[in-house]
Amino acid sequence: MNVSAWITAFRLRTLPLALSSVTMGGFLAAERGKFDTAVFGLCCLTTILLQVLSNLANDYGDTVHGADHAGRSGPSRAVQSGLISANAMQKAIYLFVLMSLISGMTLLFVAFGSNLRLIATFFGLGLLCIAAAILYTVGRKPYGYAGLGDLSVLIFFGGMGVTGSLYLFTQSLASGSLLPALACGLFSVGVLNINNMRDIDSDRQAGKFSIPVRIGKEKAGWYHWFLLAGGLAAAILYVVMNYRSPVQWLFLLSLPVFVAIGTAVNRKPSEELDPYLKRMALGTLLFVVLFGVGQLMA
């Protein structure tokens, strides 16, 4: 077994982004005095497994549909390059589905105890997350090829990721969490937008109608500024509505990071955008940590 090929296929650099939403949920729970270490740990594990599942399915699906090929701008993919066979990748996808289910069910029993109604509800949401991770690029009509990836990321990395994880801690709906969830969601869409801007030519050839393919690279660059500004505006509005101390503005220290990324995304050619995927993911996690610490210290 080619261990290095599998590690590459896992795309570890995407994990900081995956952890951002559940970390935000954890901070919001701690702000309400409801943080639980076991729940948080299982949230992180389940999220990581789902993210790796999504990455493996994306590797397989984009190769099958022709979006990944030798001429694309980004790093070569495991199945497309022949380092991992399509059959082996399918088996890995099934394995990560199973591990995600096991981890997710353990999380639900720890969070909800014997409350079967809540367990059943969140189990259904978990199945939806698994389906979304796979069907983004796999299947006869993958929704990522219709340009719906941005909406999916906004829902699963924003609304569901943050408010869902917060509910696991508090077992109550908190309307105030929607603004931090929106911030996480928009920044996560920003990561996808950079990815799609990088792959704009190969995606166009493969019939993958991402937002950048639909509107062009220049407008996609301005769209990226909209995502960054929207995320920061949501966080600012949350602090204004829940103001207690100047330390709540700590998250603004992440502003130079986002400005630098937005400037580069607008100015650099598609083939030079790959490094900014990692920077945007890390920038999002930095924002979450600064935001969460600021709220707890207030």
Q: What pLDDT, in 10s, does the model give residues 154-208?
A: 999 998 999 999 999 999 887 788 999 999 999 999 999 999 999 998 888 888 8
For 222-280, the pLDDT digits (tens) are: 999 999 999 999 999 999 999 999 999 999 999 999 999 999 999 999 999 999 999 99
Decide: helix, strand or coil at residue 31.
helix
pLDDT score for 75: 65
Q: Is the pLDDT of residue 104 over 60?
A: yes
Distance CA 64, CA 218 (A): 29
| CA distance readout (Å), 51 to 34, 149, 256, 262, 291 | 26, 14, 27, 25, 23
| Report field, pTM of the whole predicted structure over 0.85 | yes
237: left (phi over 0), alpha (psi -120 to 50) or beta: alpha
| CA distance readout (Å), 240 to 21, 177, 234, 237, 243 | 21, 14, 10, 5, 5
Give the count of alpha carbons within 13 A of 263, CB side only.
6
Angle in degrees, 0-180, between the axes of helices 178-198 and 274-297, rounded to the nearest 10: 170
